[in-house]
Amino acid sequence: MTTHKSLRIGLIGCGRIASTYIHAVHAVTHATIVALCDTDQARMDALVHTIDGSVRMYTDYQALLQDDTVDVIAICTPPASHRQIAIDSMKAGKDVIVEKPLAMKFSDAKDMFDVATEYSRLLLPVMQNRFNPPVRFLQTQRDVVGTLQYVNASCFWYRPQSYYDDGWHGKKDLEGGVLMNQGIHYVDMMCHVVESTPKHVFAFGGNYGHAMESEDVVSLQVKFHNDVIGSCQVNTISYPENLEGSITMCFEHATVKIGGKAMDEIVSWQGLGEDAYRAVSFPDTADTVYGYGHIGVIQNMYDVMFHHAPAYITKDEVLSTLEIVEASYASMESGESVRIS
């Protein structure tokens, strides 16, 4: 652990999501980006002026890892590179934040957590929707709404062909497809509200609207060990723009739908807890597809490092999500249900 009370971050990967991290770091007291890394110098040049203070730039992440002024590495590179960069970072004595998905394989994610334990480092995956105000408010009402009985998550988004023509999106070995990229948030949210581990998974999927290697449509079902059934539908063919990102939960005493573009508003609350929900106002996140949950992730890393707070997401939760995704791909290939354990 560091001996000072500031979070000095080295950001690796200066593509689409990097500006969201810069905004999040600016919003967290005692956090700052002190270094950028990308193989494309122009990408760093385009971002550096948006960062407060002096920033060092590297085109080789191994050189960044030798920078003693960096405490935390934030990895925003294509998913296939996450495992190696994270492991190298932790072995170099850095704590790590990793943009979703943590890894392309369950076994790779487990390896990463094993290294974190061996080297006494923090490994914090990014599932920022857990910090969405409606999601957090729902968690305060769990005793009121009672036992969860069924859950459905839906991500009806749109991505133009140009999105998949950047060299890595939609590539099986580099990113996976809509389930690993966009859908993983909704699988994670199912696990978050079900509070159990997956038992059986069955999925259909395919490519219906893009020239790409991977799938752009997936429909899956999960039977959890506590007998809750979850279903999830994900696509990037909802022309002409993102339609909704939602999760609908049937509790013992209430039915709640959190929706909007990315699970950022309560669409419907019927039953117990409705009066409490109507008494609360939530901030508007309509101006950003990513919401503002990354601020919560950065703040949580600071709190874990300096105030011994618990991580907002556990190793077991992360691994359960990747188990479901991996089992879904196996089911799509075999046409059969996959038993996880």
Return phi, psi of residue 181, to 5°.
Answer: -90, -75
Closest listed residue to residue 131, CA positions, set 295, 254, 247: 295
Whether 284 has a pLDDT exceeding 80, the answer reads no
Q: For residue 25, how many other CB atoms are within 10 A of its CB?
A: 21
- Both 61 and 169 in one domain: the answer is no
- Both 115 and 142 in one domain: the answer is no
Whether 93 has a pLDDT exceeding 50, the answer reads yes
Does some domain include residue 290?
Answer: no
- Residue 123 · residue 116 · CB < 8 Å: yes
Q: Which domain holds residue 35?
A: 7-125
Whether 341 has a pLDDT exceeding 70, the answer reads yes
Q: What is the mean pLDDT of residues 278-297?
A: 79
Does some domain include residue 306?
Answer: no
The alpha carbon of residue 320 and the mean position of all alpha carbons in its chain are separated, in whole angstroms, by 13
- pLDDT at residue 261 in the model: 84
User: What type of residue is 225?
Assistant: H
- Both 234 and 86 in one domain: the answer is no
Whether 202 has a pLDDT exceeding 90, the answer reads yes
Q: In the structure, what pLDDT confidence band is assigned to residue 282 with cuts at 50, 70 and 90?
A: confident
User: Which residues does 39 contact at the CB level (< 8 Å), separation at least 6?
Assistant: 59
- Residue 318 · residue 132 · CB < 8 Å: no
pLDDT tens digit sequence for 27-45:
999 999 999 999 999 999 9
Q: In the structure, what pLDDT confidence band is assigned to residue 3 with cuts at 50, 70 and 90?
A: low
- Both 93 and 189 in one domain: the answer is no
- Residue 210 · residue 221 · CB < 8 Å: no
Strands 148-156 vs 217-224: parallel, antiparallel or unpaired: unpaired
- Both 233 and 325 in one domain: the answer is yes
Whether 289 has a pLDDT exceeding 70, the answer reads no
- Both 28 and 119 in one domain: the answer is yes
Q: How far apart are CA 51 and CA 264, in angstroms?
A: 27
Secondary structure (DSSP) of 236-248: SB-TTS--EEEEE
User: Which residues does 296 contact at the CB level (< 8 Å), separation at least 6?
Assistant: 128, 130, 131, 312
- Both 146 and 277 in one domain: the answer is yes
